[in-house]
Amino acid sequence: MVAFFRGKLAFAFKVLFLAGISALLVLLLISALGQKQYAIGIFLILVVIGLNFTYLTKVSIPLKFFYPGLIFLLGFVVAPIVFTLTMSTYNYKTGNYIGKTEAITQIQKLAIEPDASGSTFDIIVGKYNGTESAILASDTVKKQYFISTYDKRIDLNVTDIKVNEYQVAREAYNFKALADAELAGADKLLSKSRFFYTSEFFIALEGFDVGALYRQKLNFLAIQDAFQNIATGAIYKDNGKGNYANVDAPGEILEPGWRAPVWFENYSKLFLDPKVREPLIRVFIWTVVFAVSSVLTSFAFGLLLALALNKPIRGRRIYRSILILPYAMPSVMSILIWGGMFNTEFGAINQLLGTDIAWFQSVTFARVAVIVVNLWLGFPYFYLVTSGALQAIPSELNEAAAIDGASPRQIFSKITLPLLLRILSPLLIASFAFNFNNFNLIYLLTGGGPKSTLDGDIAGATDILISYTYQIAFGSFTQDLGLASAISVVIFLLVASISLYGIRKSKVLESFV
Amino acid sequence: MNWLRENLWRHVVGIFMVLFAIFPLYLVVISSINPSGSLQVTSFIPREFSWKNYQMLFNDPTIPYLTWMKNSLVISVSVALLSVVISASSAFAFSRLKFRGKKSGIQLLLLIQMFPAILALSAVYVIMERVAVFAPHFGLGTQPGLLLVYLGGAMGVNIWLLKGFVDSIPAELDEAAKIDGASAMQTYWLIFVPLAAPVLAVVSLLSFIGTFNEFILARLFLVDMGSRTIAVGLQGFIGGQYSQNWGPFAAGSLIASVPIVIIFLSLQKYIISGLTAGSVKG
């Protein structure tokens, strides 16, 4: 076995293995670069170089152990964190979702207007001179017939064509209609095609039989990086915030925009824009209330149980194995089950209480329900850890106090509880941090509701920061990844400082356990 | 009389909390065998018994329950195995090797691990959207893509947990191996891995539970009915329509929960020590 690590065979295996992984990565990075995903491409290049460097040289032994884990951490944890930071300085949202070049193409495509008289033509799609895409167009009223390709128009006399009973041209010299099968295949291309009419107007297809006259409303001036309205002459320039805006009326912007750096605008919005700030403060307050009351209720019930079952009473094992069940259940399932139990008409809770409360429609009841469910999910954990901590308190302390004449109540409040709190405070803090971001509970139980969507306000009464952020990023109205990222960064700073404080405290823990 | 004063309150508290703990679970069990399949509980003591809901789960083509279950198992088992294979060597290095920057490396890991994956959700989404452009098999909407994201996310916690466990394994054996001239790699494979096998198994099972229970990434990634995991599948199935689908849902969530509960109960000891080390089950 030891020889395996030294022999030539082992070396051959290693080289083969490295070559295989490198080949796969190189294939990936080539297609990444081919699709202009440069950031990912460069990351993959570095991964390949690092991989071979690490395992073919003896520069660093520890790196050989760290490399696979390091790559996953960098790729799927660190990169998203860095990307979140970057996005939080961009106006990355609906309407500014694409790159600039793409946005320019889109604006050009969208900036067309129909001819004032609304002229349409009956058309046949086909080829001119055998190869050129073209249409054979007929205006049956004006008796005007022509063939139009992408760049020219060939007017036809009535004698050059064959018409059907509606006076629509069916055949013309040098023009060959496309068969139906070919038409279906060219559908996508045709819908984007512009056929020449005059230097100002072009014909766009509306289905396979009708074409309408359009003209370009805006012209892109590549040198000035600006759009010009052909009719009015108005100039739209890059406003530095991801949109082309009218030079004379900055509020008038062209859609779509692109994602552009706005630096701290997303952050300043959190504090200065009342439309963002007010729901955010409301949600923040509820988040803290929710997290604190979840921790306190779970801890209180856990503590009570731990005290009650701290003596070898009859049936303690049975109690214990049942009490742990809520914690052992997959929480997604439990939350969904509770969701059914809180149903207004048929739910077991209303039936048990003999009420008909619309739990998730009332702000107060929805909040109570959320905390009750979280208590159910959380108390077994605190029961378990408090039981453990109770064992860790030396019994001599209690005995000595009892001899000195302290009542059981005094022993509890003066000795047991302070010691417990000292041992468990890191866990209480960790639990607070966890509940602060307890997305699943809110999302699966109430969906953040109840909410009034009257004024486009998407923050519900039970929404906590993280579920609110999720709605900002992936909601159905508008998606603002920039703002969502900024909130994420703020949440991280809050939670990380709380957790760091907890870790400092956990040094106390080590001396006990 | 003395017994009463001493112990009665203990039983009162115990029984009250047991009822609270077991009520939803009891309800699911009786709902799952209730032939009417409705959310409404006509009686808290079951009068009829039928496998109808369970049969519906496995036979109704509109509920791809078995596919969801298979997806969940494949993804969770892959994460459980791969994440431990990848993170074990890092944990070993952190625990046993001496190198420059070790302390700051550990602190950095701790800091990174504190950034909840859900905060970077939109970033992960956009990144995988871009990966999908050039590698459609690993990008958004695919199970391998989800697997990669899970592996990355599991790394921080797993290295951290494993390091804690590994620190408690005495180092004499690998020091002896070192004296006998074994390289770090040999010590790792021949001494450490066999020695730490039970610990690796525990962490691997913990990853299994965590992945099986993961909801939001799976929800965001897996859009197709046939590629969903059990958590996403059942959520979509019940989503708002409690009254219609309750019976089969109860049966489905029971079946999905049983293996997790069994694993959890058998790992109780380790989970609790892992939890006191500062990580909380999600």
- Give per-residue pLDDT as tens, A242-278: 889 888 888 888 888 898 889 899 999 999 998 889 9
- Give per-residue pLDDT as tens, A398-444: 888 888 888 888 888 888 898 888 888 888 888 998 899 999 999 99
Poorest-pLDDT segment among A289-303, B34-48, B224-238, B264-278:
B264-278
Taking alpha carbons only, the member of B238, B227, B253 closest to residue A445 is B238
Find the length of chain B. 282
- Give per-residue pLDDT as tens, B113-128: 777 778 888 899 989 9
Mean per-residue pLDDT over chain A, rounded: 87
Predicted structure pTM score: 0.85
Cβ atoms of A292 and A464 closer than 8 Å: no
- Give per-residue pLDDT as tens, B153-207: 888 888 888 888 788 778 888 888 888 888 888 888 888 888 888 888 888 988 9
Residue A325 in contact with partner chain B when CB distance is under 8 A: yes
Residues 228-247 of B with CB under 8 A from A: 231, 234-235, 238, 242-243, 246
Residues 12-71 of B with CB under 8 A from A: 13-14, 17-18, 20-25, 27-28, 38-41
- Give per-residue pLDDT as tens, A296-329: 999 999 999 999 998 888 888 899 889 999 999 9
- Give per-residue pLDDT as tens, A50-81: 999 999 988 888 999 999 999 999 999 999 99
Taking alpha carbons only, the member of B171, B166, B154 closest to residue B209 is B154
Could you tell me which CATH number the domain at A112-216 has?
2.40.430
Q: What is the average per-residue pLDDT within B11-25?
A: 94
The reported pLDDT for the residue numbered A325 is 92
- Give per-residue pLDDT as tens, A84-102: 999 999 998 888 888 888 8
Q: What is the average per-residue pLDDT within A137-161?
A: 85
SS3 assignment, position A255 = coil
Domains of chain B: 2-54 (no CATH), 67-276 (1.10.3720.10)
AA identity, residue B245: N
Asked if pLDDT for residue B280 goes beyond 60, the answer is no
The answer for residues whose C-beta is within 8 angstroms of residue A322's C-beta and 6 or more apart is B18, B21, B22
- Give per-residue pLDDT as tens, B78-97: 999 999 999 999 999 998 88
Asked if pLDDT for residue A14 goes beyond 80, the answer is yes
- Which is more confidently placed, A511 or B270? B270
Question: Least CB-CB distance to B14: which of A309, A340, A426?
Answer: A309
Verify whether the Cβ–Cβ distance B265 to A324 is below 8 Å.
yes
How would residue A331 be classed by pLDDT, with cut points 50, 70 and 90? very high
Residue A354 in contact with partner chain B when CB distance is under 8 A: no
Task: Indicate the class that CATH gives domain A271-512.
Answer: mainly alpha
Residue A338 in contact with partner chain B when CB distance is under 8 A: yes
Q: How far apart are the first and last CA of chain B?
A: 45
Domain borders along chain A are 3-87, 112-216, 271-512
The reported pLDDT for the residue numbered B275 is 52
H/E segment holding residue A73: helix A61-73
Q: Chain-centre distance of CA A89, in angstroms?
A: 16
Verify whether the Cβ–Cβ distance A304 to B272 is below 8 Å.
no
Verify whether the Cβ–Cβ distance A348 to B121 is below 8 Å.
no
Q: What is the average per-residue pLDDT within A160-188?
A: 80
The reported pLDDT for the residue numbered A509 is 45
Residue with tokens 């500062």: B278
The reported pLDDT for the residue numbered A401 is 86
How would residue B282 be classed by pLDDT, with cut points 50, 70 and 90? very low
SS3 assignment, position A179 = coil
Measured distance CA(A370)–CA(A442) in Å, rounded: 7
**Which percentage of chain B shows pLDDT scores above 70?**
95
Question: Least CB-CB distance to A330: which of B13, B186, B256?
Answer: B256
Q: What is the average per-residue pLDDT within A357-364?
A: 91
Residue A385 in contact with partner chain B when CB distance is under 8 A: yes
How would residue A513 be classed by pLDDT, with cut points 50, 70 and 90? very low
Asked if pLDDT for residue B266 goes beyond 60, the answer is yes
- Which is more confidently placed, A113 or A281? A281
Verify whether the Cβ–Cβ distance A87 to B213 is below 8 Å.
no
Taking alpha carbons only, the member of B155, B140, B118, B48 closest to residue A495 is B118
* Burial letters B89-128, b for 16+ CB under 10 A, else e: bbbbbbbbbeeeeeeebeeebeeebbbbbbbbbbbbbbbb
Q: What angle do CA A12, A13, A14 make, to 5 degrees?
A: 90
Residue with tokens 């691997």: B204
For residue A104, what are the CA distances in angstroms to A204, A246, A288?
Answer: 20, 15, 45
Asked if pLDDT for residue A510 goes beyond 80, the answer is no
Counting other chains too, the contacts that A127-130 makes at CB distance below 8 Å and 24 or more residues apart are A127/A175, A127/A176, A127/A178, A128/A154, A128/A174, A128/A175, A129/A174, A130/A176
Per DSSP (E only), the strands in A97-243 are 112-114, 120-128, 132-139, 144-149, 153-156, 161-163, 169-172, 175-177, 195-196, 201-205, 210-216, 218-221, 226-229, 235-238
The reported pLDDT for the residue numbered A46 is 95
Poorest-pLDDT segment among A124-128, A148-152, A178-182, B56-60:
A178-182
Verify whether the Cβ–Cβ distance B17 to A426 is below 8 Å.
no
Mean per-residue pLDDT over chain B, rounded: 85
How would residue A456 be classed by pLDDT, with cut points 50, 70 and 90? low
Query: CA nearest B159 in A: which residue?
Result: A69
Asked if pLDDT for residue A122 goes beyond 90, the answer is no
Poorest-pLDDT segment among A241-245, A432-436, A466-470, B106-110:
B106-110
Measured distance CA(B80)–CA(B78) in Å, rounded: 5
Verify whether the Cβ–Cβ distance B152 to A325 is below 8 Å.
no
The reported pLDDT for the residue numbered B110 is 80
